[in-house]
């Protein structure tokens, strides 16, 4: 039985993955983060109380759900314990959170190197979240990273970490002309983290496997979005992991065949935070009104998000590389006040129509959106709870999105609250 649902971001992140994970976690046994790190900012709103989660899976607000931070995640203990404190203070049960012994650890030198390399790029900076994500994955791929299992090794860990800090201080000082980091301070801090972390550490691949084998329901919680994927996103303006469905099984340690349903979390329009091409970006009043109505400011960094119309070329590309079986169409209510709404069905470059998302930066920068424009519904959708209650124009808009992407819309979200969710069609 395929009892695994992958929740994947279809666009450039912040599509509302946290909300849908929390919503579906009510009937799931386990939620698994498999990639990314504390660059993610997932918002869950329950009865008006807002929780911003970075590393802890968004299933944590449902009692009885196991929450796994898998081997593919880059794990920042500072961010993790700050989150645990925040949840404990709010009376949330944090006893069912488990961290993979194979996850790589983010250290202060990763964050410093993230900043220094961004500064060195100057005008060509990527606009990263400065959470040390790229430098930590670099160490993993280069095979010099330290993992959670290393952290559990006492004196040996101190020695390994000391060597790493020496090597990184060399780069910080000699390559970037920066200040060296305090070696003893970092070692002591991480030795304390190691003690605190020990009770959370597991071979999570075994836990996920056993849960799936027992016929229970598992959700993979994607972070970032497909258009930030290292291979299929707008390289080099991407993150350093694979936020597409293929990344989830390697990042959780289970076979590729287990996933039964792949839900693409998709905003009813487009946003992006950080640098890089965005063909449907609106730098005018329309873009500003989407930003204000949608409160489009980053959950992790507070930066204003760039806003634009729905990009059917990007979401079609995302549906293909993910094998998306259904879309969750989010923030539909943000478009409530428009007389007309546009959807991009293709790009145009040098007189040529482009149907498939181009690889190159120049090709994307020179692409112009081709729009079809439809009538808005001009109705407040936030109280709608069923498909039947949606106005005809909203249903038509959804039909256009299904046609452009080739994927059925199975969930519709009309507000940040758990209850503001319309299920249309079965999931698993």
Nearest to 293 by CA among 329, 330, 336, 328: 336
**Interface with ligand IMO includes 40 (CB under 6 A)?**
yes
Give the one entry of ligand GDP, ligand IMO, Mg ion, none that residue 414 binds, where binding means its C-beta sits below a cut-off of 5 to 8 angstroms depending on kind.
Answer: ligand GDP
Evaluate whether 73 touches 133 at the Cβ level (below 8 Å).
Answer: no
- Nearer to ligand IMO by Cβ, of 41 and 253: the residue is 41
Binding mask 124-163 for ligand IMO (x = CB under 6 A): --xxxx-x-xx-----------------------------
Smallest distance, ligand GDP to C-beta of residue 181, A:
30
Smallest distance, Å, CB 8 to ligand IMO? Answer: 11
Beta bridge partners of 68: 32, 98
Q: Is 305 exposed, middle or buried (0-12, 13-18, 19+ CB in 10 A)?
A: buried
CB of 368 to ligand GDP, least distance (A): 28
User: Whose CA is closest to 374, among 319, 422, 417, 310?
Assistant: 310
14 a catalytic residue: yes
Binding-residue pattern over the window 331 to 350 for ligand GDP, x denoting contact by CB under 6 A: x-xx----------------
Angle formed by the axes of helices 312-322 and 245-252, to 10°?
40
Distance CA 314, CA 324 (A): 13
CA distance 140 to 222: 20
For ligand GDP, the closer CB: 326 or 416: 416
Choice between 126 and 187, CB closer to ligand IMO = 126
What's the closest the beta carbon of residue 273 comes to ligand IMO, in angstroms?
5
Six-digit token string for 118: 């961004």
Nearer to ligand GDP, 46 or 374 (CB): 46
217 binds ligand IMO (CB under 6 A): no
Q: Looking at beta carbons, which pairs linking 284-290 to residues 24 or more positions away fall under 8 Å?
A: 289/337, 290/334, 290/335
Q: Which phi and psi angles does 284 have, rounded to 5°?
A: -110, -165
User: With CB cut-offs between 5 and 8 Å by kind, which of Mg ion, ligand GDP, ligand IMO, none does residue 282 bind?
Assistant: none
Contact flags string 62-91 toward ligand IMO, x per CB under 6 A = ------------------------------
Q: Residue 157 CB, nearest distance to ligand GDP (Å)?
A: 32
| C-alpha of 344 from chain center | 23
Closest distance of CB 42 from ligand IMO, Å? 6
Which residues on adjacent β-strands are paired with residue 346?
370
| CA 234 vs CA 13, 210, 295, 348: distances in Å | 13, 37, 24, 17
Q: How far is the CB of 41 from ligand GDP (least distance, A)?
A: 5
Number of chain positions touching ligand GDP (CB under 6 A): 22
- CA 137/CA 160 separation, integer angstroms: 18
Q: Which of residues 21-80 bind ligand GDP (CB under 6 A)?
A: 41-43, 45
Annotated catalytic residue 400:
no
132 binds, options Mg ion, ligand IMO, ligand GDP, none, Cβ within 5 to 8 A by partner type: none
- 416 in contact with ligand GDP (CB under 6 A): yes
C-beta of 18 vs 326, nearer to ligand GDP? 18
Triad 79, 105, 13: Cα angle to 5°: 60
Is residue 169 a contact partner of residue 185, using CB atoms and an 8 Å limit?
A: no
Q: Which residue has the tokens 């069923």?
A: 386
Q: Is 402 helix (H, G, I), strand (E, B) or coil?
A: helix
Give residues in contact with ligand IMO (CB under 6 A).
9, 12-14, 39-42, 126-129, 131, 133-134, 223-225, 228, 239-240, 273-274, 299
Supply the residues annotated as catalytic. 14, 42
Give residues in contact with ligand GDP (CB under 6 A).
9, 13-19, 41-43, 45, 295, 299, 330-331, 333-334, 413-416
């Amino acid at each position: 039985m395929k009892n695994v649902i992958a929740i994947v971001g279809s666009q450039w992140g912040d599509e509302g993955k946290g909300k849908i994970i929390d919503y579906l976690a009510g009937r799931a046994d386990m939620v698994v983060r498999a990639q990314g790190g504390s660059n993610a900012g997932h918002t869950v709103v329950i009865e008006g109380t807002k929780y911003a989660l970075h590393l802890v899976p968004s299933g944590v607000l449902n009692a009885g759900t196991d929450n796994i931070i898998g081997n593919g995640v880059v794990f920042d203990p500072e961010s993790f314990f700050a989150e645990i404190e925040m949840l404990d203070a709010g009376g949330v049960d944090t006893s069912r959170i488990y961290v993979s012994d194979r996850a790589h650890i983010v250290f202060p030198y990763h964050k410093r190197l993230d900043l220094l390399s961004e500064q060195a790029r100057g005008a060509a900076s990527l606009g990263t979240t400065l959470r040390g994500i790229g430098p930590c994955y670099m160490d993993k791929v280069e095979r010099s990273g330290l993992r959670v299992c290393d952290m559990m090794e006492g004196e040996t860990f101190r020695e390994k970490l000391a060597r790493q800090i020496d090597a990184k201080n060399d780069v910080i000082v000699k390559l970037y002309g920066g200040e060296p980091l305090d070696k003893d301070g970092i070692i002591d801090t991480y030795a304390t983290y190691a003690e605190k972390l020990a009770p959370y550490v597991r071979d999570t691949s075994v836990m996920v496997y056993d849960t799936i084998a027992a016929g229970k329901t598992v959700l993979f919680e994607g972070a970032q979005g497909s258009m930030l994927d290292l291979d299929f996103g707008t390289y080099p303006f991407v993150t350093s992991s694979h936020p597409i469905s293929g990344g989830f099984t390697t990042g959780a340690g289970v076979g590729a065949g287990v996933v039964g349903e792949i839900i693409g979390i998709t905003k009813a329009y487009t946003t992006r935070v950080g640098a890089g091409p965005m063909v449907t970006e609106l730098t005018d009043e329309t873009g500003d009104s989407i930003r204000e109505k949608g409160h489009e400011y980053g959950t992790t960094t507070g930066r204003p998000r760039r806003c634009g119309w729905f990009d059917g070329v990007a979401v079609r590309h995302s549906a293909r590389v993910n094998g998306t079986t259904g879309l969750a169409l989010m923030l539909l209510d943000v478009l409530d006040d428009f007389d007309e709404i546009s959807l991009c069905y293709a790009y145009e470059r040098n007189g040529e129509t482009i149907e498939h998302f181009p690889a190159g930066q120049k090709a994307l920068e020179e692409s112009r959106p081709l729009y079809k424009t439809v009538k808005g519904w001009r109705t407040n959708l936030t109280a709608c709870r069923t498909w039947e209650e949606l106005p005809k124009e909203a249903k038509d808009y959804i039909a256009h999105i299904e046609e452009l992407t080739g994927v059925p819309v199975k969930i519709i979200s009309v507000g940040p609250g758990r209850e503001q969710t319309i299920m249309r069609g079965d999931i698993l």
